[in-house]
Structure 1
């Protein structure tokens, strides 16, 4: 899933996919997790950006963000959220 493209569609009022998919490149699995992060060098401390993760890639996405000190929290996807 092209997360940036999906966010641009949301901002323009276009509908995104009915079932959100994992943000890991090449993965088309349904998202089970919201991995919240921010880059403290460019984002306000309260701002949270979100990557979506499936069970298989959740840890990989978290590790990627933790290595850069960007990871803030991980939450389960709410039923019906997109």
Structure 2
């Protein structure tokens, strides 16, 4: 979480973006995520691994925007604390 603190300091009043399920999961565990943006592609896979790792609790989200487009749906959520 030191890297996120350093990124926030360097960003000043700008947003800090995180990518990757592992780092996002850790940031969610520590209450450091305000919003989540997901891009959903309508393909069902027969295997693989989850994007988010196991969380200690449910993470409640509130939809801010849902934008359907050709071959993808863009989902923007606020993390409810």
TM-score when scaled to structure 1? 0.30
- Compare the two structures and name the one with the higher strand fraction: 2
TM-score when scaled to structure 2? 0.30
Task: Say which one has the larger Rg.
Answer: 2
